Amino acid sequence: QHNVTSYGVPAFVIVTLETFAGMWINAFIVCVLCIGWVRKKTLNSNEKILLLLGSSRFWCLCISWIFDFLLTIFPYCLLVHPIFQLLQGAYGFFNCSNLWVSACLSVFYCIKIANFRNRFFIYLKVKIDRIVPWLLLGSVIFSLVIGILVYSTIDKAVCKKLNFTCLGGLWKANLSIEEHFYPMYFVIGFLHTISFMAVILAAVFLLFSLWRHKCKMQTNSSNSLSMDAHIRAMKSILSFFIMYSISFMSLILNLAYSTNYQNHVMFLVYLIQNAFPGVHSLILIFSNSKLEKTLLRILSCEKCKVCLR
């Protein structure tokens, strides 16, 4: 996880505004879905994925902000064992969960919406509602492995009596970085690459299916409303694919240059990574009629209150 101490208070203010906006958006998703869960006593597969995704992103942003707050305002608190290790391990868990559940959402949309005559694909379409809980469980397990790996790697490095002299990065290692952190970076990069490949395949298959269906509707002069729905779906998937690609490249750059705390490009990378959970969740809200209506209702009520004042 990168930090903002090298860039001063203005940078921390920018990160705070960005983080709190993302936390509010994801808290909104979680609250709406939980209220619906209490009322209906059940959740469909899409809502299960969105609930876990919103929760992961909320806590990922929350822990990231707590870390930056301590590092900027009370840096010596992080020298107390095991605060630093716990924060980094928790961030690794929720950040990995965010990426993996995002990939699950992309795969779910692909199987649910795309239309192929392949027997295996038809089987997945029929069984997808039963498969979703296992996909989510697998995502949580993979994320937990990453969180434990991050915690244990940092804890071992600390136990090797690293010299805590650089508050920008919390320490200057007296032993080679490769010995402790490169294996961890390789595992994290490998797991994230698998999730990214799943997103690529799901997006390509789904876009191809939607485009083919749109061409058929044009040929058959189908309802324009149905055509608009497919075009909106394609735009949503394409925007998610572009955002996920940018976020993935940012993560790789962060892993590759994680020791370069003075690089302003890395601060931009950090801002992009923090923006992804909020911006993509906002797109998900406007792609879901239930969430969109609730949000617009809340905003209209707030507008009425402001006007009455």
pLDDT digits (tens, 9 = 90+) for 18-41: 899 999 999 999 999 999 899 988
CATH of span 7-163+172-216+226-298: 1.20.1070.10
Give yes or no for residue 202 having a pLDDT over 70: yes
> Do the beta carbons of residue 102 and residue 139 sit within 8 Å?
no
> Do the beta carbons of residue 113 and residue 82 sit within 8 Å?
no
Query: Distance between CA atoms of 250 and 256, rounded to whole angstroms?
Result: 10
Query: Distance between CA atoms of 102 and 108, rounded to whole angstroms?
Result: 10
> Do the beta carbons of residue 116 and residue 209 sit within 8 Å?
yes
Per-residue CA distances from 154 to 92, 184, 225 (Å) = 12, 10, 54
Taking the domains of the chain in order of start, what are their residue ranges? 7-163+172-216+226-298
Which is nearest to 56 in space by CA: 129, 133, 143?
Answer: 143
Q: Determine whether 145 is exposed, middle or buried from the number of CB atoms within 10 Å of its CB (0-12, 13-18, 19+).
A: middle
Residue with tokens 């868990």: 93
Residues 127-168 have pLDDT tens digits of 889 999 999 999 999 899 889 988 888 887 776 655 444 444
Residues 240-298 have pLDDT tens digits of 778 777 777 777 776 666 555 555 666 777 777 788 888 888 888 888 888 888 888 88
**Mean pLDDT rounded to a whole number for the chain:** 78
Output phi, psi for 259, to 5 deg.
Answer: -90, -5
How far does Cα 227 stand from its chain's mean position? 30
Residue 294 confidence (pLDDT): 86
Residue with tokens 């390789």: 186
Max mean pLDDT among 101-115, 129-143, 156-170, 215-229 falls in: 129-143
Query: Distance between CA atoms of 195 and 223, rounded to whole angstroms?
Result: 36
